[in-house]
Amino acid sequence: MNSFANDETHGRTEAAEDYRADRMFLGAAIEALGLPRTAADRVRFEGPDSLPSAFAVTAFASAAIGAAALAVSELVAAVADAPPVVVDRRLASLWFRMSIEPVGWTLPSPWDPIAGDYPAGDGWIRLHTNAPRHRAAALHVLNCAAERSIVAEAVKRWSAEALETAVVEVGGCAAAMRTVAEEPANPYADGQYSNGPVWVQDLAAGLGLPALAPSLLSGGP
């Protein structure tokens, strides 16, 4: 479960880098997945930050991939020695940024024409309208046509937080733009933090499939 890149990032290990954010995200994912905390000792991160952001997005990407690989490692441990996990942070960042490279064609824009940041009556808000149901929800609340200039005029008549609340309550996706100091007071963010970084659903039960045998998890016969 080792992943390496043959470039300048190869060989840059935790001895030379600060991976506290990666470890923090990994620990939260491990707890949410119900894996033993000691399993984190088998994960090693390598390489520098690769995704440009004011936030630790490279650390999040690396920890997410590390947690997924660690879960597989735990399954292997049921029948053999658990393999270590080495996460190349550059490769993890590349996978989070884009997973395909077009050959002979061009990727369409990932953004819906009316998605983006808008000035509201008292601040700014971002409307996420890439998914059809999110687009429909925003237009329903704003009660306007799907043209960017018309949407912009409609948004100006709202306060950012009131519009955020209205769109979210009808199943849409919108976020008033807050400072780092203001964000902890955001009720939607607070709800996401309290739910943890991983949502686990028992698909076997919903599909009428047998549950995973306890002996597989415990390493028994």
With CA atoms as reference, report the closest residue to 123 among 183, 186, 176, 182: 176
- pLDDT tens per residue across span 74-133: 888 888 888 999 999 999 998 888 777 889 998 888 899 999 999 999 999 999 999 999
Q: What is the pTM of this model?
A: 0.65
Rounded distance, CA 88 to CA 138, Å?
A: 39
Tell me 100's DSSP state. -
Rounded distance, CA 138 to CA 140, Å?
A: 5
Q: Where are the alpha helices (DSSP H) in the chain?
A: 20-33, 57-76, 89-97, 132-142, 148-155, 160-169, 187-195, 203-206, 214-218
Partnered with residue 125 across adjacent β-strands are 118, 176
Please give the share of the chain, as a percent, with pLDDT higher than 90: 49
